[in-house]
Amino acid sequence: MRHARIEATAALARGEIRVGMSANEVVALLGQPTKIERVASSKKEQWTYEGPNGPVILHLESGVLQRVHSD
């Protein structure tokens, strides 16, 4: 699991995580997120990966990556 956490931050830094990617593409690149939060009555999800410098948050809607940020 630690490898996936570090890989999330590294992939973000390398520009490998891009808006428009499918949820399956994100999982293939990073593995399963540490946490998934679903927004009630919508198709929005927030995926959290723990990186060495803090969390990396991916915002998906209808299974498509919409936005990425790190704290």
User: For residue range 23-69, what is the model confidence (pLDDT) as tens digits?
Assistant: 998 998 888 999 999 999 999 999 999 877 789 899 999 999 999 88
Largest CA distance in the chain: 34
CB atoms within 10 A of CB 63: 13
> What backbone torsions phi and psi does residue 21 show, to the nearest 5 degrees?
-65, 150
- Cβ atoms of 64 and 47 within 8 Å: the answer is no
Query: So what's the pLDDT on residue 13?
Result: 67
Model confidence band, residue 1 (pLDDT cutoffs 50, 70, 90): very low
Query: What confidence tens digit (pLDDT) does each residue in 12-33 have?
Result: 667 678 889 999 989 988 889 9
Q: How many domains does the structure of the chain reveal?
A: 1
* Domain ranges, residue 31: 2-70
- pLDDT higher than threshold 50 for residue 2: no
Specify the pTM: 0.78
3-state helix, strand, coil in the chain (%, to 5): 30, 40, 30
CATH value at residue 22: 3.30.1450.10
